[in-house]
């Protein structure tokens, strides 16, 4: 199919339209939690990397936080090791923890750094072990080395940002005894964004946002005050796997993030649409009085 032709005048109008949003975000920190189909589909992956590089080049201080559950499962399968889950969390024995570290801090992290560099950006890969960035303890004995975050040290991230690089953070943690923990990427991104006092946290998912009616795509709730989230969970509007994601969004606001977005990562250039246009997509969480939700 022939690409849509855009005149130079149209290009200029698009850039001018984006100017106030660029001015709003320039110099501010935006944390992107990268996951879902946008991490698997090559075309979507390319659009995410280009979005992040563009934002970085106009002065937005982007931090990319990623997990990698599907690749961990695939690697474990190749090694002949079965994946087991309890309450949606991967049971992580010591051997599995080694695989998690290898896949997240090695293969995925460095692949993302390479992609960003190939798109014209400058990136450095970090893991939660570097500088004891993410310290953790056992979350539940049944899960093994699945971590509950006890402390986040964002100095390594700030040092990388200060040098003009995009930090790419893999969500593994450690303790003072040298144990490595598998950390939920949504939780890690929320804590990191809070410690950074980020302007925004953008969480990429495989849904269009929070729908009032899950069967009606036109019932998207464009913004939610954090004090209203618990009621939406109680009503069943927010249910199943979205509950922990929303809890992370609410806690991110509680921890100091100015606004949090759940966006549809299946849409090409979803990050730019959300940050640099007045249309936006997905659901935004904004400040309000609330108690911290459990993680």
pLDDT digits (tens, 9 = 90+) for 141-198: 999 999 999 999 999 999 999 999 999 999 999 999 999 999 999 999 999 999 999 9
Confidence of residue 292 (pLDDT cuts 50, 70, 90): very low
Task: Report the DSSP beta bridge partners of residue 66.
Answer: 34, 170
- Indicate if the pLDDT at residue 278 is higher than 90: no
pLDDT of residue 128: 96
Sequence length of the chain is 295
- Indicate if the pLDDT at residue 88 is higher than 80: no
pLDDT of residue 217: 80
Mean pLDDT score, 258-286:
88
pTM of structure = 0.91
Q: Which of 144, 147, 158 is CA-nearest to residue 185?
A: 147
Mean pLDDT score, 208-233:
87
Q: Which residue is catalytic, options 51, 128, 147, 186?
A: 186
Is residue 186 annotated as part of the catalytic site, yes or no? yes
Q: What are phi and psi of 114, to 5 degrees?
A: -60, -45
Tell me which CATH code domain 27-286 carries: 3.40.1160.10
Mean pLDDT score, 195-214:
90
- Indicate if the pLDDT at residue 58 is higher than 90: yes
Task: Report the DSSP beta bridge partners of residue 264.
Answer: 205
Q: Terminal CA-to-CA distance of the chain, rounded, Å?
A: 47
- pLDDT tens digits for 1-30? 345 577 888 878 888 888 888 999 999 999
Domain boundary assignment for the chain: 27-286
Is residue 69 annotated as part of the catalytic site, yes or no? yes
- Indicate if the pLDDT at residue 295 is higher than 50: no
pLDDT of residue 239: 82
Q: Which residue is catalytic, options 68, 69, 121, 125?
A: 69
Q: Where are the beta strands (DSSP E) in the chain?
A: 29-34, 61-66, 85-86, 89-90, 123-127, 134-138, 147-152, 166-170, 172-174, 180-182, 200-205, 223-225, 259-264, 283-286
Q: Where are the beta strands (DSSP E) in 130-195?
A: 134-138, 147-152, 166-170, 172-174, 180-182
Cβ neighbors of 23 (< 8 A, separation 6 or more) are none
Q: Which residue is catalytic, options 245, 264, 265, 282?
A: 245
Share of the chain above pLDDT 90, in %: 61
């Amino acid at each position: 199919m022939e690409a849509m032709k855009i005149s130079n005048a149209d290009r200029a109008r698009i850039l001018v339209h984006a100017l106030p949003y660029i001015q709003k975000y320039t110099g501010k920190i935006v944390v992107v939690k990268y996951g879902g189909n946008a991490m698997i589909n090559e075309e979507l992956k390319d659009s995410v990397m280009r979005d992040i590089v563009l934002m970085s080049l106009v002065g937005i201080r982007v931090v990319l936080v990623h997990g990698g559950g599907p690749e961990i499962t695939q690697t474990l399968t190749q090694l002949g090791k079965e994946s087991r889950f309890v309450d949606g969390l991967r049971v992580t024995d010591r051997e599995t923890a080694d695989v998690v570290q290898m896949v997240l801090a090695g293969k995925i992290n460095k692949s993302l750094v390479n992609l960003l560099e190939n798109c014209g950006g400058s990136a450095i890969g970090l893991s939660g072990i570097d500088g004891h960035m993410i310290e953790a303890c056992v979350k539940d004995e049944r899960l093994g080395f699945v971590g509950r975050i006890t402390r986040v040290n964002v100095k390594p991230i700030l040092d990388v940002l200060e040098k003009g690089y995009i930090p790419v953070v893999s969500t593994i943690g450690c303790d003072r005894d040298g144990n490595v923990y598998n950390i939920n990427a949504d939780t890690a991104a929320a804590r990191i964004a809070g410690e950074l006092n980020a302007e925004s946290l953008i969480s990429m998912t495989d849904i269009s946002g929070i729908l009032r009616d899950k069967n009606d795509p036109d019932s998207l709730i464009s913004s939610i005050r954090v004090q209203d989230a618990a009621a939406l969970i109680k009503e069943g509007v927010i249910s199943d796997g979205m509950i922990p994601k929303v809890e992370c969004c609410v806690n991110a606001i509680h921890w100091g993030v100015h606004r949090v977005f759940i966006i549809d990562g299946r849409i090409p250039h979803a990050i730019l649409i959300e940050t640099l246009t007045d249309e936006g997509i997905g659901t935004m969480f904004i400040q309000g009085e609330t108690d911290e939700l459990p993680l």
